Amino acid sequence: MKLYEGDVIPTKPAAQPDAAPAREAAVAAKTTSNRLILVVDDKAGVRELLKEYMPKPCELVLADSGRAALSAFEQKDFDIIFLDLDMPDMNGFEVLYEYLKYMKDGASEKKVIAMTLRSAQQDIHRASELGIPVVLFKPFTRADVEKALEQVAACQNNQVSKKLHYLTTTAN
């Protein structure tokens, strides 16, 4: 499978009798319910696969380049951003920098799920240093996407919890 080259979209796997996938989908659906999600990747196959794997309901916007992502940021405030770190026009770090610079209110690296190859260790390390909480390795499965969504939602909930704790402890 050449998922990361964008030329093959795998068919849906056969239904499994195990209840775990249904349970995982229910948890992932809770984390994306009524959420606005941006997918930024230059490969059409990756965008289409994420579209297929995304739990419903959610609103999904697809961008095929860093420039398209910047245009999307001007129009909407996204809850979760799947960001390819290696694109030809702008790399994911440049997109993240512009996003944080111009989208001051509501912008956070905690909303980002970085997408890269497992072998891109330098990008993985840099993403971690910048505070991106989740890395989704290509090629990925539906379960990988669901787990990434759960992780970023947990990170966002923890961030909100810390802010609320700070506000209550300093108000005394």
Q: What is the pLDDT of residues 82-124, one digit of tens each?
A: 999 999 999 999 999 999 988 767 788 999 999 999 899 999 9
In a domain, 19, yes or no: no
Question: Would residue 2 count as lying in a domain?
Answer: no
Pick out the chain residues at pLDDT < 50.
1-31, 160-170, 172
Residue 159 confidence (pLDDT)? 61
Is residue 16 a part of any domain in this protein? no
Peptide bond into 88 cis (omega under 30): no
Task: Answer yes or no: is 21 within a domain.
Answer: no
Total domains, the chain: 1
Predicted pLDDT at 90 = 95
Q: Note down the domain range covering 48.
A: 28-170
Within a domain: residue 45?
yes
Where residue 129 sits, what CATH number does that domain have?
3.40.50.2300
Tally DSSP H helices, then E strands, for the chain: 6, 5
What pLDDT score does 33 carry? 60
Consecutive H or E run containing 26: helix 20-32
Residue 141, domain member (yes or no): yes
Q: How far apart are CA 46 and CA 67, in angstroms?
A: 18
3-state secondary structure of 17: coil
Q: Which of 56, 64, 89, 63 has its CA nearest to residue 78?
A: 63
